[in-house]
Structure 1
Amino acid sequence: MEVVSFDIAGLKLLIPRRLSDDRGYFSETFRADAFFRSCGDDVFVQDNESLSVREGTIRGLHFQSKPHEQGKLVRCTRGALFDVVVDIRHGSPTFGQWTGEVLSAANGRQLWVPAGFAHGFCTLEPNTVIAYKVTAYYSAECDKGLAWNDPEIGVPWPDIADHETLSAKDRKQPLLANLPIYFSWSE
């Protein structure tokens, strides 16, 4: 598995190797020892999956606050999506900066999103499925978010991004400037 680091500390792109033949391919999509070496000693406790029927569906930007903060290992198992992660660790040299990756069933790429980041995506194809492992159980009290289109962050979402697909919760998320301090930077 190839592991690529970003300018934003902590984020990793995992590119599993695919062994292909005329029948298709085989890929080892997760291996704990390799993950621990590359990303840290986080342990996954829950797997989640989400189907978005329409292309252009926007979900996020979401995170969980302490004491149930979550790291996420995200991949697309059907279709394609533009996956976005924003650093919300106060004091971080990259606070408010974002990165985005196209994750698809075809490319098999996975994004490691540690706690301290807001995460969201826009589907690029209909019937897209995103699957992710998380390091803490879901907690409604700790379920938080950030405005997906905050101009201070400046994510250039795909042209097909449709704000009409936002959930009621995501329509009311705060801007980064109004977000309480949930995470602090530590080297």
Structure 2
Amino acid sequence: MIEIRPTMLEGVLEIMPTRLSDARGFFSETYNAARLVQSGVDLTFVQDNHSLSARRGVLRGLHYQLPPRAQDKLVRVIRGAIFDVAVDIRRSSPTFAQWVGLELSAEKWNQLLVPKGFAHGFVTLTENTEVVYKVTDYYSPEHDRSIRYDDPNIAIKWPTAFVDLLLSEKDRTAAGLDEIEVFA
């Protein structure tokens, strides 16, 4: 059983796989294409990615790939917790530059579906956080783009408990939303 919850941005979904627990531990079907199709999510994932962030306050994003190599992403946390964000970067969308964020954690066992046309990023809330996500197209350096995590045009309210965020050089020097190529 998989429960699907809409968010305030159309197409961005919180997915809640069932976790069956007993004295041994638990079992969970974290991905089932047929069940997702029955719920209206018909995607073919081609690559799995796995990241480890050793400390709290690691910020990764905001990332996306342009067409024709755009990616849908199904994101989950297998250890620790993140504040996960999807930003609508479709200029023709009535929700352009709006964002939705929610906590994903190994404890909550929830996932976030980030569709094409959205930038994605997260900040770790715990040490040794592991994030696993599926994508519908392969990584393409020529189509890979980033937006500044603190762009005032988007105004994401990242958790404020972090004074010392750790970012890659790519994310630290990313351009603002008004300076980059996005979706039509």
Superposed pair shares fold, TM > 0.5? yes
Q: 2:92 matched to which residue of 1?
A: 91
SS of the aligned residue for 1:183 comes to coil
Contact 1:56 1:122 in 2 (8 A): yes
Listed as ranges, the gaps of 5+ residues in structure 2 are: none
SS of the aligned residue for 1:169 comes to helix
Q: More helix per residue: 1 or 2?
A: 1
1:58 pairs with 2:34: no
Classify 1:47/1:74 alpha carbon distance in 2 versus 1 (closer, same or farther; 3 Å): same
Amino acid at match of 1:23: R
SS of the aligned residue for 2:93 comes to coil
Q: 2:183 matched to which residue of 1?
A: 183
Aligned pairs for 1:101-116 within 5 A: 101-116=102-117
Percent sequence identity over aligned pairs = 50
Question: Could you state the TM-score of these two structures normalised by the residue count of structure 1?
Answer: 0.93
1 CA distance for matches of 2:74 and 2:26?
Answer: 21
Contact 2:79 2:105 in 1 (8 A): yes
Classify 1:156/1:137 alpha carbon distance in 2 versus 1 (closer, same or farther; 3 Å): same
2 CA distance for matches of 1:21 and 1:160?
Answer: 36
SS of the aligned residue for 1:170 comes to helix
Question: Could you state the TM-score of these two structures normalised by the residue count of structure 2?
Answer: 0.95
* Number of residue pairs aligned between Structure 1 and Structure 2: 183
Give a deviation string over 1:107-134, Cα, whole Å, max 9, x none. 1100000110000000000000000000
Give a deviation string over 1:59-115, Cα, whole Å, max 9, x none. 000001111111000000111110011000111011100001101111110000011
SS of the aligned residue for 1:90 comes to coil
2 CA distance for matches of 1:38 and 1:65?
Answer: 27
Give a deviation string over 1:22-78, Cα, whole Å, max 9, x none. 222111100001222335322000000000001010000000111111100000011
Aligned pairs for 1:66-85 within 5 A: 66-85=67-86
Classify 1:137/1:163 alpha carbon distance in 2 versus 1 (closer, same or farther; 3 Å): farther
1 CA distance for matches of 2:130 and 2:56?
Answer: 11
Q: 2:166 matched to which residue of 1?
A: 165
Classify 1:163/1:62 alpha carbon distance in 2 versus 1 (closer, same or farther; 3 Å): farther
Listed as ranges, the gaps of 5+ residues in structure 1 are: none
SS of the aligned residue for 2:142 comes to helix
